Amino acid sequence: MLLLVDLDGVVYRGRDPVPGVAAVLADRAARGDDVVYVTNNSMYYRADYVPRLEALGAPVTIDRIVSSARATALHLVHHEPTLRRILVVGEPGLRRELADVGLEVIDAGERADLLARSTTGTPAGGTGVDEFEIAGRPDAVVVGLDQDLTYGKLAIATVAIRAGARFIATNRDPVLPTEHSFRPGAGSIVAAVEAATRVLPISIGKPAPAILEEAARMVGACAGDGIVIGDGLDTDIAAARAIGARSVLMLTGVTSRARVDALPRSERPDEVASNAADLAAALERLAAWPPPPAGR
């Protein structure tokens, strides 16, 4: 089976592992399943996940990790090849993923500083300053989670998008779960830019299918034949429905049992697991009932 596995809220929550899940995934890999990690987190370079997952005992190689940062880079290369100069609001991992595929990366923080210096002391209403030029004349603006977000970064992104740059969101998750609480996610930043520009971005991460399709491509499989394992109804499970895949909802992250029970049957996951033992049993059941062949 192809297992498309979320990370935050499934394998770990913040710095804490979810007990037993890594061992379940290692067992499935040993039995021949393809395990690919698919995370909406855009902060890190994909290699950064390898030592952490290895330390947990999870089966992992760098080519089995697809973050929303990686999927965004691949989307630009495969589907929008004319977009080459990219203004980035996000963490170093996102910038590195974009540079890895040959894109020219423009740092929003650096351009925001230039904008501030160029307009300091200038009266409002017609400065003569070419703000799009200061923004680097990007073809696109990519917005992800940025823990050093400033007003200046929001301003330079707004300037570029209003001037015609394509608006791309790595994902629209409103919150980021940690081991202690929930903090603002990339979607909160995307929403601010959307409000300022009145432009709806294309979003790459779950629930959009693009990230799962890129993940399946890593192992030469069809995303619709996979099993999505995640903790978010509005992200993981919605993405599974979008591509026609089966799903397991883990109650170890952002979703409660009460919310699942309140859903109409058409929106429920195929399986619900409260812990690693439940996950192992759910995967056994799904393995016994494979999806029908394509076209049937």
Cβ atoms < 10 Å from Cβ of 166: 19
pLDDT higher than 70, residue 292: no
Q: Percent of the chain scored above 70 by pLDDT?
A: 95
Q: Read off the pTM.
A: 0.89
**Could you tell me where the DSSP H helices lie in 67-150?**
68-79, 92-100, 108-119, 131-134
Residue 227, exposed/middle/buried by CB under 10 A (0-12, 13-18, 19+)?
A: buried
- Please give the average per-residue pLDDT across 181-204, as a whole number: 95
pLDDT higher than 70, residue 294: no
Which pLDDT value is given to residue 30?
98
Of the ranges 12-16, 196-200, 292-296, which is most confident? 196-200
List the beta strands (DSSP E) in the chain. 2-5, 12-13, 16-17, 34-39, 65-67, 85-89, 104-107, 140-143, 166-169, 175-177, 182-184, 202-203, 227-230, 246-250, 271-273
Which pLDDT value is given to residue 15?
86
pLDDT tens digits, one per residue of 66-85: 999 999 999 999 999 999 99
Which pLDDT value is given to residue 11?
97
What are the structural domains, with CATH classification, of the chain? Answer: 2-40+206-288 (3.40.50.1000), 82-203 (3.40.50.1000)
| Catalytic positions, written as ranges | 6, 8
In angstroms, how far is the first alpha carbon of the chain from the final one? 19
